[in-house]
Amino acid sequence: MSQKSSGGEFVAGFLVGALIGAAAAILFAPQSGEETRVMIHDKGIELKDRAEELSVEARRRAEEAQAQAKGKAQEIQTRVKQAIEEGKATATTKKADLLTELEVEQAPAGSEA
């Protein structure tokens, strides 16, 4: 799991670094105010598009993870039910064996009385 979270942390760090770098480039660029405003507008649109792409990808991955978790939960539930049924069958068999053994032990005692 740590690999998945570190991937998200990397992306977040990368985006923050990109924003800081873009801000520094804008502040120190030898451009007119109009050119700077156009550049800021264009970069804003690019970042918005990229954020939307990342959002769609994150949603897709979350849905995949949810589907996998649901499948594993159903598999575990099936195994638990099977184990319970096997336990019940074993208990019933053991009970029958013990009752038979008890009857055998009590039979000689009952015939002597």
CA-angle at 50, arms to 45 and 52, nearest 5° = 95
Choice between 68 and 22, residue whose per-residue pLDDT is larger: 68
**DSSP track, 75-98:** HHHHHHHHHHHHHHHHHHHHHHHH
Per-residue pLDDT reduced to its tens digit, 78-103: 999 999 999 999 999 999 999 998 88
Amino acid at 9: E
pTM here is 0.48
Per-residue pLDDT reduced to its tens digit, 23-66: 777 777 777 778 878 888 898 899 889 889 999 999 999 999 99
Alpha helices, DSSP H only, in 1-32?
2-28
- Answer whether 19's CB lies under 8 Å from 40's CB: no
User: Helix (H) and strand (E) counts for the chain?
Assistant: 2, 0
Give pLDDT, residue 91: 94
